[in-house]
Amino acid sequence: MGGLSSRSSSGGAQPVNAGTHLVRRFFQSLVDRGPDPQGEAWLLGLLTDAETPLYWQMSAADRSHALRSAKCPALVDDAQRVAAALHDAGKIRAGLGTWARVGATLMGKVFPRGLRGRWADYQDHPHLGAAILRESGSAELTVVWAAEHHLPLSESTLAPDVAATLAAAD
């Protein structure tokens, strides 16, 4: 993964812990009506032809999260912005709404390997997303970050500064 490790962050990016991230995403999902069209047009300009339909399959709340992530000032280049935007692309397979996601998240904590169907797909969205993005010909950084974005930073295969920057953007 040498090409990935050569990227450096501007420093100072502080990833939040997983619990804080989930709570914040939950409340954002309740009030979110979708990203602003101008920001969305900017982001679409960064995506490939194959990534664009994946983006449009995401829910309005997920597209808002994608845009907010891609706009994080700590990101150093467009490769990181695209990786930040598409990290949750695997959620399009599960197609769960906000409350079902809460259920899947909580049940996943209680029964780490016991979920089935769309709940299991939601729980497995990092791997599903990575597979979809790889099929779509996305950049290696985009694929790897989708696969690893719920791992502890210490387990990431990306360069530590890159992983920390992308986690801060999430």
Contact residues toward Fe ion (CB under 5 A) are 88, 170
Residue whose CB is less far from Fe ion, 4 or 168: 168
DSSP string, the chain: -HHHHT----S---PPPHHHHHHHHHHHHHH-----HHHHHHHHTTS-TTHHHHHHHS-HHHHHHHHHHHT-TT--SHHHHHHHHHTTTTHHHH---HHHHHHHHHHHHH-TTT--HHHHHHHTHHHHHHHHHHHTT--HHHHHHHHHTTS-GGG-SS-HHHHHHHHHH-
Considering the complex, state which of residue 3 and residue 152 has its C-beta at the smaller distance from Fe ion: 152
Contacts of 17 (CB under 8 A, 6+ apart): none
- In the bound state with Fe ion, the residue whose beta carbon lies nearer, of 32 and 88, is 88
- Smallest distance, Å, CB 149 to Fe ion? 5
CB of 102 vs Fe ion, minimal distance in Å: 14
To Fe ion, the closest distance from the beta carbon of 62 in angstroms equals: 8
CB of 150 to Fe ion, least distance (A): 6
Nearer to Fe ion, 79 or 104 (CB): 104
Judged by beta carbon, residue 88 or residue 121, the one nearer Fe ion is 88
* Closest approach of Fe ion to the CB of residue 115, in Å: 15
